[in-house]
Structure 1
């Protein structure tokens, strides 16, 4: 049942007419990215659909320390992502690659000056950990990250 719910969320990003709850700014980001990708693809590739999957793992109000490699939120993010990728491979016969992460987190880290100053180094630690966790067989990093104020990843 949970895999079906996650599949529905992934598919919602590919259809502007579908609505999904619980994915915050990710859905709007995915729709915009999908539109841009479709508009800039070579004509010979346009017959094959572009797919964007969303795997929400956000936990609102958390500080970045809880998202560092080895911490429970980071490890839960990796496990949930691997579970979804595995389920997709089992159901559809291919394993998607993680090619990016929309990391919308940081509001609680801005409350104290010392936490705000330490944020950049911690964010880079998160990015490096995500790249290791989701690296592809070709050796290229499979995840990048952008940061903003807000909650979760």
Structure 2
């Protein structure tokens, strides 16, 4: 198997009909599964559901396509140690039905929703990466969003969460010229004092083509904040189910073009 280094990545362009998914939010989307907090290193364990596959690609921090593998966010969320997130599990779960999957990691740990407002660095970089991802062909199919822990520490931030998230959804759809872009949001599994208030906002949002999966109850690491590797596998599969239930065209073995 070929190996790469940070100075010698293998750039592989996916086919032009690729299905693109944006991964965004904070640390649980970036992935902390298997990260040993005290040692500040990842244990390197990749569950079978998150293994690389020739039809799964990722857009690197330098905006080159390459074969996707864990940790997906290593060159994006650079101030922390990244491990297993839900992205590769999701990609493996959808690839057999959708074909080539192209992931665009954008999540950064410890970031509040206000840092994802239009005009802020994180938001603008996410939009720029999304636009770059379609330059060689392909279609952005959904944004997978897992964020909010950083908004649970004060009542003010928790109260403002729903309005800020609704603005983010509206802005990113406008800026990408995709008015019906599907968004799959994850309701928090952890947080601080006002977690319930942020979760209530996440679970209660009523916007077209915005659905929510609930991570509450998934096993957390000993920091009571980050999902374990096993939990990330479950979450990735929940995201697959949500995508196919709400957004993917149904499977069919027959042509409906003239079946009336």
TM-score tier by shorter-chain length is 0.5 to 0.7
Relative to the length of structure 1, the TM-score reads 0.66
Matched, 1:131 2:173: yes
More helix by share: 1
Secondary structure of 1:4's counterpart equals: coil
Q: Which has a greater percent of strand?
A: 2
Please list every run of at least 4 consecutive aligned residues from structure 1 whose deviation after the TM superposition is greater than 6 angstroms.
none
1:25 aligns with 86
For 1:3 and 1:80, the matched residues in 2 are separated by 19
Aligned match for 2:185, one of 126, 146, 149: 146
- Cα shift at 1:6: 9.1
Count of residues paired in the alignment = 124
Query: RMSD value over aligned CA atoms?
Result: 3.0
Q: Please tell me whether Structure 1 or Structure 2 has the larger radius of gyration of its CA atoms.
A: 2
Change (3 A) 1:58 1:141: same
Q: Which residue of 2 aligns with 1:4?
A: 11
Shift of 1:97: 1.7
What TM-score, normalized by structure 2, do the two folds share? 0.41
Cα deviation digits, residues 101-127 of structure 1 (max 9, x gap): 011111010111221111111111111
Paired residues for 1:49-128 under 5 Å: 50-86=99-135, 89=136, 95-128=137-170
**Residue ranges of structure 2 left out of the alignment (5+ in a row):** 1-7, 15-19, 21-51, 57-67, 74-84, 189-224, 227-260
Q: 1:115 to 1:72 in 2, by over 3 A?
A: same
